[in-house]
Structure 1
Amino acid sequence: MLAVLRTARRLAPAAARSASRRRMTAPAASEKVEKICDDVCQLNVLELKEFLDLFKERAGLSDADLQGGGGGGGVVQVAAAAAPAAAAPAEAAAEEKEFFDIKLTSFDAKAKIKVIKEVRALTGLGLKEAKEVVEGAPSVLKKEVKKDEAEEIVKKLTELGAAAELE
């Protein structure tokens, strides 16, 4: 037992030196990042809060994005979250929408019964609920419908005397 304690005492300073070396070596950063870091480190607490609020607003981040999450790397998580936030509008414009909401905007009074029957068939609602939906136009009939199916439904509603659109 005494030998184990002596060995632990001899190894402790070496382990501490090794840990301090690991902390001292950080990955090399660009001059721009070094300057930003120096500027941020010179801010007082109130200025730092203002900076973080402005950064969150411009990067489109929430408080949850800035949380460390226990695994460390809070700044890395912020940078990783900011990149997709900036790229999302470009991707959304490039992709075509696949799913649509079907909205009943109006109907012909003469075709009201036919439209109510079709709404019942589409939504599975009872007669009273379907009537309320039709009379409450504009209202969304179905959500997240594939494009082909949604276009068929709008076409059918139009033939019956209703006005519908895809959102």
Structure 2
Amino acid sequence: MSTKTEQILEDLKSLTLIEVSDLVEKLEKTFNIDASQVSAGVVMAGAPAAIPAAVEEAKSEFDVILAEAPPADKKLGVLKIVRTLTGLGLKEAKDLVESAPKTIKEKASKAEADNMKKELEEAGGKVTLK
């Protein structure tokens, strides 16, 4: 083991459970991986190869999905945003909102999907990105 690796290992040993949890969360976000899906054998044997592959496979297109129909007091706001984002007519947008979960947009860029999610959630909708 190199001295650099040994130093990192010693630093990890000194972390609290909360700090380890934060570290795992940051590693997952940085390398777009899910630590719960990685087995011990993969971590030990394949980590150097797995990390670049995970970074390469980072999603660039997302489906914006209205997860559930909004409550009655938020429905009109969500309906207006859906019409703006999709260009649908009033009846089509109303049917889409009322029949959630439904896909609002397929293959949106990360920025576009995040913007759509933000707008819909501000209006009172519940949105997921896939």
- How many Å apart are 1:149 and its aligned residue? 1.1
What amino acid sits opposite 2:120 in the alignment? L
* 1:18-33 equivalent positions in 2, closer than 5 A: none
Amino acid at match of 2:71: D
- Give the alignment's TM-score, normalised by structure 2: 0.56
Q: Secondary structure at the match of 1:100?
A: strand
| Residue 141 (1) aligns with residue 104 (2) | yes
Alignment of 1:18-57 (within 5 A): none
> Which residue identity is paired with 2:62?
F
Equivalent residue for 1:100?
A: 62
Read off the aligned partner of 1:149 and give its amino acid letter: E
> How many residues of Structure 1 are paired with residues of Structure 2 in the alignment?
78
1:108: how far off?
Answer: 2.4
Structure 1 residue 148, shift from structure 2 partner: 0.8
Larger Rg: 1
- Unaligned ranges ≥5, structure 1: 1-89
- AA aligned to 1:120 is R
Runs (4 or more) in structure 1 with deviation over 4 Å come to 90-93
Q: Secondary structure at the match of 1:96?
A: coil
Residue 132 (structure 1) aligns with: 95
Aligned equivalent of 2:79, options 110, 116, 119: 116
Superposition TM-score, scaled by structure 1 size: 0.44
Q: Which 10-residue stretch deviates more, 120-129 or 91-100?
A: 91-100
Tell me how far 1:93 sits from its aligned partner: 6.6
Q: Looking at both structures, which has the greater relative contact order when contacts are Cα pairs under 8 Å and sequence separation is at least 6?
A: 2
Letter of the 1:141 counterpart:
I
Counterpart of 2:121 in structure 1 is 158
RMSD, aligned α-carbons: 1.6
% identity of equivalent residues = 45
- SS of the equivalent of 2:59 reads coil
Match of 1:65 in 2: none
Cα distance in 2 for partners of 1:123, 1:161 equals 17
